[in-house]
Amino acid sequence: MQNRMAKRLQKDLEQMQKTYVDQFIVKMPNNDIKHWIVGFEGAKGTLYQGEKFELQFKFSNDYVAPIESPEVIFIGKPPEHEHIYSNGFICLSILFDEWSAALTVSSICLSIQSMLSSATKKMKPPNDAEFVKRSAGRGPKSFLWSYHDEKC
């Protein structure tokens, strides 16, 4: 199983490095295929132009097929966005309920980038402070997410 997982992640990595090399920079800090850090810049012509962000991907052992979605959060300073909490958690349905095994790392990154690009004003989620306090010490996948709007 480990082997299959590595194979799939290897392919995702190749895709990132070949097709999206200008857009995303992939790092593996511990040389561990299950832990990625993807750096990217806010797209031109959007509210986040020029800002640099980093996403952390953690793949659980259940990512075998890959059946289970990876855990994706912003590290460092997260963008100020309606669906991104100050602790880096992202409210995006494809990361939770609507996860499909056919989604790749690059498709997740593109979704998050497009979520940022479509923002019309910079604002924090309405329940940010309360949520961040409540989520201390827990991973984003331990929550039942309710999506604030259709786009999210």
Question: 3-state class of 15 per DSSP?
Answer: helix
Q: With respect to another protein, which residue has the nearer C-beta, 12 or 82? A: 12
Answer yes or no whether residue 32 interacts with another protein by CB under 8 A.
Answer: no
CB atoms within 10 A of CB 85: 21
- Interface of this chain with another protein, residues 127 to 146, rule: CB under 8 A: none
Interacting residue with another protein among 18, 102, 146, 150 (CB under 8 A): 102
What is the Cα–Cα distance from 17 to 136, expressed in whole angstroms?
A: 34
Span near another protein by CB under 8 A; candidates 5-13, 19-27, 126-134, 140-148 = 5-13
Span near another protein by CB under 8 A; candidates 50-58, 76-84, 85-93, 98-106 = 98-106
Q: Which backbone phi and psi does 17 adopt, to 5 degrees?
A: -80, -25
What is the Cα–Cα distance from 47 to 79, expressed in whole angstroms?
A: 10
**Quick one: tokens of 82?**
């309606």
Interacting residue with another protein among 51, 54, 68, 128 (CB under 8 A): 68
- Bridge-based pairing state of the strands 52-58 and 35-41: antiparallel
Q: With respect to another protein, which residue has the nearer C-beta, 3 or 31? A: 3
Question: 3-state class of 148 per DSSP?
Answer: coil
**Quick one: tokens of 20?**
């999206």
- Interface of this chain with another protein, residues 105 to 124, rule: CB under 8 A: 107
Residues with a catalytic annotation lie at 91
Q: Which spans of this chain sit near another protein (rule: CB under 8 A)? A: 4-5, 7-8, 11, 62, 64-68, 94, 100-103, 107
